[in-house]
Structure 1
């Protein structure tokens, strides 16, 4: 997480010793962008122009635009500008080999006044556009080819005038002209939610800025920002999650500086500073060293990205509502299978494999759900789902008919005070047992029984962890229980009611597993079984062998399926997995996860379906 600066460094004067290296032909440019092989993009009042390293103009696009930003591209560069008349953002493909500029499909007309724009490229190599508007009205869009889709709406500083994104740290920097520089999470599905913004440097008396923040440029491992008057340059460096202010550089120029741009070469970085009054660019090469803190640590697993194939209809309540799914497999036609999901503000939802909602059972505030099929009670066979009901601190039992129709069957009271998570266990000897926990760490193992009066339950074992648990899963084949203590890690124990519930830690919260530890499920493969765990703190998922020594096989995140219009998944609570052949892309089974932040566009939470074959391929998992 970004940490606020607590002090401002003292100013030092910057000399004019370095020679100017910007070609004279670019002197009147209002904005500059350095390109590969020494080429330049220059934006002035009449056009966007492409120059070679010697200052020869190669191409020109007439326009009246502002807010030039660029990213690398296979042909040279992708540029973006804001049309000053229409307020539409216009992408431009820069072909360095051909020396040409090609305008791409413009973004739609915004519904608010745009103050600034900037680009961001995520780990999937998807390009995004931030439209930062007046009074804080802002949006994030994604683009691919001619596709333009709204990802989410944002609330950013009301007086924002400049923005830039750091693709490596997934950070959006926004300068507020009358206050200071802010950092936000740029990744719409990233661990740093947009609400977790941090002030990096503020105006006096809160910090060392004079009047507020002006133009900025992203540096390797940091950021450079001008004060509102363009008289001082502030360099901020990120080190091990905190921000450090280097000595303030007082700009000893005759006029104020209003723009800043970055150029890198083999010898280091150069800052290009625009003097609007003199119509010239100054070049500074600051002493800049950055740490490798932004790089992935060696002991941390690499994160691969898989895309969801299906998403469900959203739940009918905004906020933290959807929580936990469970997969029911149709006995005769797996294409008619169902996914059940809890809505913590409403009840149980039932979806088909296309993600369409088929049922809503308004059973109250349900938290976790799990199910088992082909259960034998008194010579009758049942498919049962069990969910925790938080208002009553009870278990709600649902019967699932052969056609997938779900009905509430019974409620079993518990003596827990704050019922929370649950998972089911089907012993090889038959029957059904429920593991259920309380927020205070207590667990109960309840055996489900049936009589003429219906389903009942009795406690057959009790045990406890030291802090709040939630997710758990039972391995029926091997009589093992895996449970998550949210802030500490994943434990395993015997699932047998008559056994001593001795817990042993198999995966602690550390570099790879980030609290909270949430949903768990077991994939039963032809030769290998895998435990899947939701690492909510960094919006990823871990795959372990479900047998000792519980080898950690890999780590993945769920990204955007832009072609299907499905956003990624983040801050996942519950999940479930099945190895059943559901046909098509799900022929090797599927993983269903709760999505904590619905994007593309914003909306109530939902669930995402991921093909197991995509996960297995990405992590090179044997069957």
Structure 2
């Protein structure tokens, strides 16, 4: 547990040791807690106000208060803001953090579970508990501290050493252990330099170790604040993968988002993110949509998904009047591991581009004979390593497709057996894996957006300006709406159409690989095309 300090100078000691504020307290404050309070932490909002959080020793409730420094002749004044209900398990230790959104806490209990919450929101100056994420740490963490400047959380486990994780809620939850013979309670962990850490136990013994490097700085790119999200998919783990957008031309606000749950089937959502349908048709991986597809005199709206249950193509009808999605057919492929997929719509019929994780690409032409769907192979080509995401530009007869570990390729679809060329490489801002991609069009120009999964970002290229990379952005949370940002994105979809009052300049939908605030199954995040358009205008 956090140690009890002498009553005088408690706050000054707390600030200097483990709260990492940017100034020194000029006057020690009287102790804010009684002697029986052992688990507590304090963090400064400004020179006069501090967040004081402690665990009630009787109920184990988290109690959050403000601590005002007072004036020369007045002592500190503590005002309780709220307290939580009793948790399922006793809290072993807690530590506070600060980021651009607010001040929050990590709580570690005796079961080896950790919870991260916001306690105070900066934008609105509201005191409110907002769950961020919950995760297992395994053993009992008996001391923790946060270095806000580097975004690191350090957690001491007796007999094991010090664990390190990233502070950022959207970061990959990877724990690094510095093995240390911690046989006594830890009383301090201090980052003494950029990467050097000092650990002190209750008997004054000092340990040192080198901290793990921070993977990347999360505020080095532009941020587009999220606007909405879908209901989570039905299965835990890496399940949600790829979305597509169907535009209701008669009533754009009634458009649909179609997303894959690669463990359970296909989900259909409205623009508010509510699930309208679940079709349990197999392990569908990627999905794409085309509208007004002509087969002779017949015109239909279709979705096609790559289905890893049987390595086939699953075809769906989208009823224009009822907005119902129905399964029409399954078409076999010879692929060993059917993977990414996108659609190309020439003037007549529909073509499917589908790939295998071994780099093989197959191009099929769909046909309808007496109501029965079929597929004929048009051509086969390949990329040197694993592909997945792709998008076809119907008007320009072009296919853009990603090689996950390398970059983006371009191929003409005007004929068969034409050559491909690589048009974009990775760089210090665009990382592997290159996953989902889609084209956004405005002012008569095309812009390719591709998910850069390795650093939780989205790269934007000016297609009509020799595929010039304009820049990359990340999707940030909207704390007031209680919606987290997006990370580790697989597939994405974009519509440039006016989708009504909520999305008048179109919509970007991305898969969210780490759905937090609170921790839940994966889902899809929604961002207004207005924000995407503004980003492009800033950098083109």
Compute the displacement of 1:28 (Å). 7.3
Q: TM-score, normalised by structure 1?
A: 0.77
Cα distance in structure 2, aligned partners of 1:307 and 1:567: 9
Per the alignment, residue 103 of structure 1 pairs with 79
Q: Which among 60, 76, 81 is matched to residue 87 of structure 1?
A: 60
Cα distance in structure 2, aligned partners of 1:541 and 1:159: 38
Q: Which among 438, 447, 453 is matched to residue 536 of structure 1?
A: 453
Change (3 A) 1:516 1:29: closer
Cα distance in structure 1, aligned partners of 2:195 and 2:207: 11
Compute the displacement of 1:622 (Å). 7.7
Alignment of 1:337-348 (within 5 A): 337-348=255-266
Compute the displacement of 1:210 (Å). 6.2
Change (3 A) 1:98 1:526: farther
Alignment of 1:172-571 (within 5 A): 172-190=153-171, 192-193=172-173, 196-203=174-181, 214-222=187-195, 224-228=197-201, 230-238=203-211, 242=213, 302-403=220-321, 404-427=323-346, 429-508=347-426, 510-571=427-488
Compute the displacement of 1:211 (Å). 6.1
State the SS of the aligned residue for 2:420. coil
Which deviates more, 341-350 or 99-108?
A: 99-108
Give the conservation status (yes or no) of the 8 Å contact 1:177–1:214: no
Compute the displacement of 1:61 (Å). 4.1
Q: Which among 122, 146, 149 is matched to residue 165 of structure 1?
A: 146
- The CA RMSD measured in Å over matched residues stands at 2.8
Change (3 A) 1:82 1:447: same
Which deviates more, 444-453 or 225-234?
A: 225-234
Cα distance in structure 2, aligned partners of 1:555 and 1:356: 29
Per the alignment, residue 128 of structure 1 pairs with 104
Cα distance in structure 1, aligned partners of 2:81 and 2:536: 36
Give the conservation status (yes or no) of the 8 Å contact 2:433–2:453: yes
Which deviates more, 325-334 or 570-579?
A: 570-579
Cα distance in structure 2, aligned partners of 1:534 and 1:89: 39
Give the conservation status (yes or no) of the 8 Å contact 2:15–2:43: no
Give the conservation status (yes or no) of the 8 Å contact 1:441–1:466: yes
Per the alignment, residue 270 of structure 1 pairs with none
Per the alignment, residue 38 of structure 1 pairs with 24
State the SS of the aligned residue for 2:498. coil
Compute the displacement of 1:406 (Å). 1.0
Cα distance in structure 2, aligned partners of 1:317 and 1:405: 23
Cα distance in structure 2, aligned partners of 1:37 and 1:420: 54
Give the conservation status (yes or no) of the 8 Å contact 1:210–1:227: no
Per the alignment, residue 10 of structure 1 pairs with none
Change (3 A) 1:301 1:70: closer
Give the conservation status (yes or no) of the 8 Å contact 1:180–1:213: no
Cα distance in structure 1, aligned partners of 2:22 and 2:148: 18
Which deviates more, 219-228 or 409-418?
A: 219-228
Q: TM-score, normalised by structure 2?
A: 0.88
Q: Which among 504, 529, 535 is matched to residue 612 of structure 1?
A: 529
Q: Which among 35, 39, 45 is matched to residue 73 of structure 1?
A: 45
Cα distance in structure 2, aligned partners of 1:165 and 1:61: 21
Compute the displacement of 1:616 (Å). 3.2
Compute the displacement of 1:431 (Å). 2.7
Cα distance in structure 2, aligned partners of 1:223 and 1:89: 32
Cα distance in structure 1, aligned partners of 2:297 and 2:130: 55
Compute the displacement of 1:448 (Å). 1.5
Change (3 A) 1:294 1:444: closer
Cα distance in structure 1, aligned partners of 2:424 and 2:497: 27
Cα distance in structure 1, aligned partners of 2:480 and 2:40: 28
**How many pairs were matched up?**
519
Cα distance in structure 2, aligned partners of 1:25 and 1:188: 35
Write the deviation string for residues 227-268 of structure 1: whole angstroms up to 9, x where unpaired: 545333234445xx65xxxxxxxxxxxxxxxxxxxxxxxxxx
State the SS of the aligned residue for 2:282. coil
Write the deviation string for residues 371-428 of structure 1: whole angstroms up to 9, x where unpaired: 111111111211111101112111111111113211112222111111101011123x
Compute the displacement of 1:581 (Å). 1.2
State the SS of the aligned residue for 1:557. strand
Kindly name which structure, 1 or 2, has the bigger radius of gyration based on alpha carbons: 1
Which deviates more, 488-497 or 382-391?
A: 488-497
